[in-house]
Homo-oligomer: A and B are copies of this chain.
Amino acid sequence: MIDYPLNRFTDMAALSDAEQKRLRSLGDTPILYKRAATIRAEGDPAPCIYLMLEGWVLASMVLPSGARQVTKVHLPGDILGTPSMALTSAAETLTALTDCLVAPVPLTRMRDLFVDHPRLAALFLMAVQIERIALMDAMAAMGKTDARKQIITFILDLHDRLARLGKAPGGAFELPMTQEQIGEKLGMTSVHLNRSLRVLDAEGLLTRTGRLVRLNDIETLRGLSQLPRRQLRTDPEWLPESREWGGPARDG
């Protein structure tokens, strides 16, 4: 029974007590990874996924050329490592950006979730689709947008996700990534990223003080961002009904 942000699920539908309990008992005892630790490397066996409780985690893959592409910046409440559910070995490397807390969920336990709680399974599927849309959006930004707008889109996305967790007071937050890593996310070199960042700084749109980023004019930034605002479907009529009982609780 761990205290874990359920927003990935509750954003889309109300959960019964039994469901909340089930989700909270889904993960094993959380593990603490230190900053820069590798949680799981590309190619490793992938017998579990992870619920993220605290910290920042980078998901990335390395191409044969040696170049690294960051595919996702994960925040608390995210579910890590799910793309690899369908593969014999992990598709992405998961690296701790800060000290962080993650609870492993053996895939065999996911089976029970699918059997006992079709509603939670459906919500899990929706969460995955949301991630997929995030990838589509990132891809569109990369393909069709110049560096400056891409940075705005990225920072704004982080801001909105942190704000939902109450972690971006006054439009400011700590960004624990090097410019190299941000560049690897956006598909540009750190040099070019740096220049573009200072342009944004000079324009007064955002201020950086060390790793602290402050969005000075969120509305203007939102206007410049090239992505549609997605509207979550809450309580879709196709969701299966809640089940009050959903199989034996694992921990008594």
Q: Residue on B with the closest CB to A48? A: B238
Q: What distance in Å separates the Cβ of A83 from its nearest Cβ neighbour in chain B?
A: 5
Q: Which residues of A contact B (CB under 8 A)?
A: 12, 42, 61, 63-65, 67-69, 71, 82-89, 91-92, 106-108, 110-111, 114-115, 118-119, 121-122, 124-133, 135-136, 138-140, 142-145, 184, 186-188, 226-228, 230-233, 236-240
Chain B residues near A129: list those with CB within 8 A.
82-86, 128
Pairwise interchain contact A61-B122, C-beta atoms closer than 8 A: no
Q: A86-B236, A110-B238, A114-B118 are in contact. List 17 more A-B contacts (CB 8 A).
A: A63-B226, A63-B227, A71-B139, A83-B129, A85-B125, A86-B127, A87-B233, A88-B233, A111-B118, A111-B239, A111-B240, A115-B118, A118-B121, A125-B125, A139-B187, A143-B186, A143-B188
Chain B residues near A127: list those with CB within 8 A.
86
Chain B residues near A12: list those with CB within 8 A.
86
Pairwise interchain contact A140-B231, C-beta atoms closer than 8 A: no
Chain B residues near A188: list those with CB within 8 A.
143
Chain B residues near A126: list those with CB within 8 A.
85-86
